[in-house]
Every structure is written in C-alpha cells, then in structure tokens.
Amino acid sequence: MFLHLGADTVIPLRDVITITDIKTVRSGINDEFLRVMNEENMITDVSEGNAKSFVVTDKVVFLSAISSTTLKKRALFLSDADVDE
C-alpha cells in the first residue's frame, strides 16, 4: 500500500509515523522539530511552497500541499482495503 502525497510522490504506507496539519507547527514542539529536520536536510518539500501538512517517516519529513485530513482519509481507506483483501 502506498500513500500519494502530491506532486507525483508516493510513499509506502507502512513508513508513515504521523500526518500533521502544518498550522500546528506554530506550536513550540512541532516548530522545533521541523527546524531541526530542516537543519539536518531531512525535509522533502513536495508542496511546491504551499505546505498544508507534513508527513513524518523514519527517514525523512515530507511537506505536502494536501491537507492532513485528506491524507489521513487516504491512509485509512488504504489500510481498510488491505484488511478486506
């Protein structure tokens, strides 16, 4: 199962640790986390500068133009589809 993040980018659903709304970045801990990830060159921006969410994996953090709500619905749909098979 793969999760489409936009801009022709898909990642294995099993690699997703969390999907978070970018607006919550303004909270201290998330802001610090993204700052450190950026300093470590561990952010991949697939949002074309219009980030609405960020997706954390064990290797990289993706910035996506797709809302966290939509990404979570996609992930849930994919995991439900996997159970049905």
pLDDT score recorded for residue 82? 64
78, two tokens: 């994919």
Give the span between the Cα atoms of 71 and 38, in whole angstroms: 22
Return the SS3 of 76: helix
Spans of all domains in the chain: 2-84
Indicate left, alpha or beta for 2 from its phi (over 0: left) and psi (-120 to 50: alpha). Answer: beta
Identify the residue with better confidence: 83 or 55. Answer: 55
Query: pLDDT, tens digit, for every residue of 12-65?
Result: 999 999 999 988 766 788 889 999 999 999 999 999 999 999 999 999 999 999
Give the span between the Cα atoms of 15 and 62, in whole angstroms: 12
pLDDT score recorded for residue 39? 98
Number of Cβ within a 10 Å radius of residue 78: 14
pLDDT band at 77 (very low <50, low <70, confident <90, very high): confident
Identify the residue with better confidence: 20 or 82. Answer: 20
